[in-house]
């Protein structure tokens, strides 16, 4: 399937920059959005300085697009009002713009932290109820709920990727289960953009880790290639003593400074 015109929000971020590079040559046109200034690096690229809070600007940036990969927002634990503004209201503006302009596919960056309070010993699939490990996880629950609403009520095709620990290589014991390699990240994004026949889909984006906590979603048609186990010999294998998938993210001390 041709990608056509793809909009990427948060294009200056770590994952946004990698997706931008990976989709060059595959999309006819890449529209790169961020609240910081960007410079075009390829003939197919168009850059715009846009804040997610600006609903008219977001809608305007989506005009003429076929799909959007929404990676912008607050990337970690923060005060709830900041998360609601950046991750929930901003996502609403993206979805509403996509609805108004009839985009073929919306890909939303969700997070594994939406289920970080499940036990590490339990294999978790997207059908289980959310158990967020902090306020950031709560904002991703709301992001997915908005995606579901726009799919059910307005017929948008929405894929929520519950992104794992995106790193060049795993660096700690938790990463042995949660690592998402750059290669697999791009594979999941590409599949989320191109797999036909999807209404609303929530799927974990995680590498093929032997110790992973999460079920893969076959409907996306992508099987990850990398396994954190290849790095296990150099990583102390002691998991966080609370025994939760979120590890230290699930501790009260992680959230208390933001309350």
Active site residues: 136
User: How far apart (Å, rounded) are the C-alpha atoms in residues 156 and 198?
Assistant: 9
Which regions of the chain does DSSP assign to beta strands (E)? 5-9, 29-34, 45-49, 67-70, 105-111, 158-163, 165-166, 179-180, 200-205
Closest CA to 68 of 113, 26, 114, 10: 10
Residue 203 phi, psi dihedral angles, 5° rounding: -145, 140
106 in helix, strand or coil?
strand
Structure tokens at 40: 């075009």
197 contacts 213 by C-beta, under 8 angstroms: no
User: How far apart (Å, rounded) are the C-alpha atoms in residues 195 and 217?
Assistant: 12
Residue by residue, DSSP assigns 210-233 as: TT-SB---GGG-------GGGGGG
């Amino acid at each position: 399937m041709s990608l056509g015109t793809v909009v990427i929000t948060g294009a200056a971020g770590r994952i946004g920059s990698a997706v931008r590079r990976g989709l060059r040559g595959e999309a006819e046109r890449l529209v790169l959005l961020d609240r910081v200034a960007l410079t075009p690096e390829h003939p197919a690229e168009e850059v715009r300085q846009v804040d997610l809070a600006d609903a008219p600007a977001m809608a305007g940036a989506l005009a003429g697009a076929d799909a959007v990969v929404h990676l912008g927002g607050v990337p970690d634990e923060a005060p709830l009002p900041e998360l609601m503004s950046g991750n929930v209201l901003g996502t609403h503006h993206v979805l509403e713009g996509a609805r108004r302009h009839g985009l073929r596919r919306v890909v939303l960056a969700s997070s594994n932290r939406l289920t970080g309070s499940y036990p590490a010993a339990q294999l978790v699939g997207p059908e289980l109820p959310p158990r967020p490990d902090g306020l950031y996880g709560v904002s991703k629950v709301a992001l997915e709920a908005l995606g579901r609403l726009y799919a059910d009520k307005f017929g948008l095709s929405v894929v929520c990727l519950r992104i794992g620990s995106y790193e060049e290589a795993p660096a700690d014991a938790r990463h042995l289960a949660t690592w998402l390699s750059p290669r697999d990240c791009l594979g999941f994004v590409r599949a989320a953009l191109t797999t036909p026949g999807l209404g609303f889909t929530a799927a974990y984006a995680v590498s093929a880790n032997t110790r992973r906590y999460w079920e893969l979603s076959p409907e996306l048609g992508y099987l990850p290639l990398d396994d954190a186990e290849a790095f296990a010999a150099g990583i102390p294998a002691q998991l966080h003593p609370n025994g939760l998938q979120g590890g230290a993210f699930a501790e009260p001390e992680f959230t208390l400074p933001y309350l």
